[in-house]
Amino acid sequence: MQEIKVLVQTGGYDKAIEYMDNTHFHRQEGAEQLHGQHVTAHILRAKRSLSDGAHDRAVEDMLMADTYPENHMVGRDTAYGRNPQIYYYTGLAYELAGDKKLAKEYLNMTVNATSRDPESQYYKAMAYQKLKKNKAAEPLLDELIRLGEERLESSAEVDFFAKFGNEQTDDQRKANAYYLMGLGYMGKAETALAKEYFEKSASLDVSQLWARIYLEELTTGH
């Protein structure tokens, strides 16, 4: 698991997916981390394919991101927090592959998905924008920025147990707050502010993979 996580963090998606495809993982504590790596590896490999113009290959990876392989021993969660992200990028892949009907179907799935993850609001907002419903997108992006600011203010509170278990450190909480703000501003096309907050997020927590991914996209344009 640790090697898979490092591979995904450093762009070794093919090798990470190979390990996940060919290894039987026993059901145990932390199993949700495995599924998260499975989703992330396929989404990021799909995004790489989209950048290379390999749209059909990107669609294949996005459809794989929505699977729960039997060898992972993880059951499907219909309210999985990252479903909006999966559906949004699947819709984008279909759009670029020329299938407008399926693209629209997945964009609608994005906005209708149930999710407890705050960052899912970004993908719902992007789907609304694609569906020409900008008025529905704005409140979601505003909420992301507000939530990030709120978490930033509360992150200074001392958590005695932060060093135990899976509790976040102060820097990790701040990094997450900056990441949410970056998503909000990126959705609003306020690129300078989005880059500023993604930079702060990535500098505070090296494991903030998506902050680094989006910062690179905003900096390089792809």
Which region holds residue 124: left if phi is over 0, alpha if psi is between -120 and 50, else beta? alpha
Rounded percentage of the chain residues whose pLDDT exceeds 70: 91
Cα gap 143→23, rounded to integer Å:
40
The first and second tokens of residue 200, run together, are 């702060």
Flag whether pLDDT at 136 surpasses 60.
yes
| Averaged pLDDT for residues 21-37 | 81
| Backbone dihedral angles phi then psi of residue 156, each to the nearest 5 degrees | -75, -15
Flag whether pLDDT at 204 surpasses 70.
yes
Query: Does 124 or 31 have the greater pLDDT score?
Result: 124
pLDDT confidence tier of residue 11, bands split at 50, 70 and 90:
very high
Cα gap 100→193, rounded to integer Å:
32
Terminal-residue alpha carbon distance, the chain: 29
pLDDT confidence tier of residue 64, bands split at 50, 70 and 90:
very high
Flag whether pLDDT at 72 surpasses 70.
yes
Q: Which residues contact 122 (CB under 8 A, 6 or more apart)?
A: 140, 141, 144, 183, 184, 186, 187
* Number of CB atoms found within 10 A of residue 173's CB: 21
Flag whether pLDDT at 115 surpasses 50.
yes
Confirm if 198 and 184 have CB atoms less than 8 A apart: no
For residue 164, the model assigns a pLDDT of: 44
For residue 92, the model assigns a pLDDT of: 97
For residue 162, the model assigns a pLDDT of: 47
For residue 154, the model assigns a pLDDT of: 84
Instruction: Name which of 131, 222, 135, 144 is nearest 186 in CA terms.
Output: 144
Flag whether pLDDT at 133 surpasses 90.
yes
Q: What is the CA radius of gyration of the chain?
A: 17
Q: Tell me which residue has tokens 């609001």.
A: 121
Over residues 151-202, the pLDDT tens digits come to 998 866 555 444 444 467 899 999 999 999 999 999 999 999 999 999 999 9
For residue 165, the model assigns a pLDDT of: 42
Collapsed DSSP state (helix, strand, coil) of residue 1:
coil
Rounded percentage of the chain residues whose pLDDT exceeds 90: 81
pLDDT confidence tier of residue 78, bands split at 50, 70 and 90:
confident
User: What rounded mean pLDDT belongs to the chain?
Assistant: 92
For residue 34, the model assigns a pLDDT of: 92
| Averaged pLDDT for residues 62-71 | 96
Flag whether pLDDT at 18 surpasses 70.
yes
